[in-house]
């Protein structure tokens, strides 16, 4: 749990020791634009070191019924969890296997370059209706990428009902 021993014998906590990169550290909302080559810059606070074992991500299309279109980006921890869940779908479950193929055919695995830029494939850009502006919203060990237009429209609708929000948070112990 503790980090390196300091100059005076004290222990220093490091982000790695605190588990930030193991459990995720994507928090907040950031607006960025695609560059001329279709690359998107990750917020500096979210970037792993370029040569880090944590520098790989999996981008998937949103799949929730009734939700706006966005790209969900999974951290290495969440990728491992997804892999375990997919392995539990029996090969005899034709519908389940077909849905996994459909989902993964749009997926994109990537890492950040030294400037923190990432690339999304054309299928995901089209799915999320991204033209130029994007909004990245951190949700601990995952983050979502929205088109600026869709996110702005959702925010303009106003916040969710406080009573409903409290009930959902309570249901999950938050």
Q: Phi and psi at residue 45, in whole multiples of 5°?
A: -65, -20
- Does the pLDDT value for residue 45 go beyond 50? yes
Sheet of 108-110: strand order equals 26-33, 133-140, 142-147, 71-74, 57-61, 108-110
Which two tokens mark 24?
């995720």
Q: Which pLDDT score is estimated for 65?
A: 65
The CATH architecture one would assign to domain 20-171 is 3-Layer(aba) Sandwich (3.40)
Q: Is residue 140 packed enough to be buried (19+ CB in 10 Å), middle (13-18) or exposed (0-12)?
A: middle
Q: Which pLDDT score is estimated for 34?
A: 92
Nearest to 121 by CA among 135, 106, 132, 104: 106
Q: Which pLDDT score is estimated for 21?
A: 46
Taking only the tens place, the pLDDT of each residue in 108-154 is 999 988 899 999 999 999 999 999 999 999 998 899 999 999 888 88
Q: Which pLDDT score is estimated for 85?
A: 94
Q: Which pLDDT score is estimated for 154?
A: 82
> Is the distance from CB of 126 to CB of 136 less than 8 angstroms?
no
Give the torsion through C-alpha atoms of 110, 114, 115, 119, to 10 deg.
-20
Q: Which pLDDT score is estimated for 66?
A: 61
- 105 band by pLDDT with thresholds 50, 70 and 90: very high
Distance CA 106, CA 59 (A): 9
**What are the extents of the domains in the chain?**
20-171
Higher model confidence: residue 154 or residue 82?
82
- Does the pLDDT value for residue 155 go beyond 60? yes
- Does the pLDDT value for residue 174 go beyond 90? no
Taking only the tens place, the pLDDT of each residue in 13-42 is 344 433 444 444 899 999 999 998 889 999
- 70 band by pLDDT with thresholds 50, 70 and 90: very high
> Residue range 94-121: average pLDDT?
93
End-to-end CA distance of the chain: give it in Å, rounded. Answer: 24
Q: Is residue 12 packed enough to be buried (19+ CB in 10 Å), middle (13-18) or exposed (0-12)?
A: exposed
Distance CA 124, CA 134 (A): 13
- Give the dihedral sign, CA 54/60/63/64: positive
Q: Which pLDDT score is estimated for 146?
A: 94
Q: Phi and psi at residue 164, in whole multiples of 5°?
A: -65, -40
């Amino acid at each position: 749990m503790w980090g390196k021993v300091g100059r005076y014998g004290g222990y220093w906590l490091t982000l790695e020791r605190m588990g930030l990169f193991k459990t995720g550290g994507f928090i907040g909302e950031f607006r960025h634009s695609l560059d001329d080559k279709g690359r998107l810059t990750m917020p500096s606070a979210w970037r792993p070191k370029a040569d880090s074992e944590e520098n790989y991500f999996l981008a998937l299309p949103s799949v929730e019924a009734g939700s706006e279109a966005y790209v969900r980006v999974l951290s290495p921890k969440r990728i491992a969890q997804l892999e375990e869940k997919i392995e539990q779908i029996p090969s005899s479950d034709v519908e389940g296997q077909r849905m996994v193929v459909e989902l993964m055919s749009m997926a994109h695995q990537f890492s950040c370059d030294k400037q923190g830029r990432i690339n999304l494939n054309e299928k995901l850009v089209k799915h999320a209706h991204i033209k130029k502006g994007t909004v990245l919203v951190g949700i601990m060990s995952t983050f979502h990428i929205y088109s600026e237009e869709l996110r702005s429209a959702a925010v303009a609708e106003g916040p969710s009902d406080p009573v409903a929000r409290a009930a959902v948070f309570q249901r999950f112990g938050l």
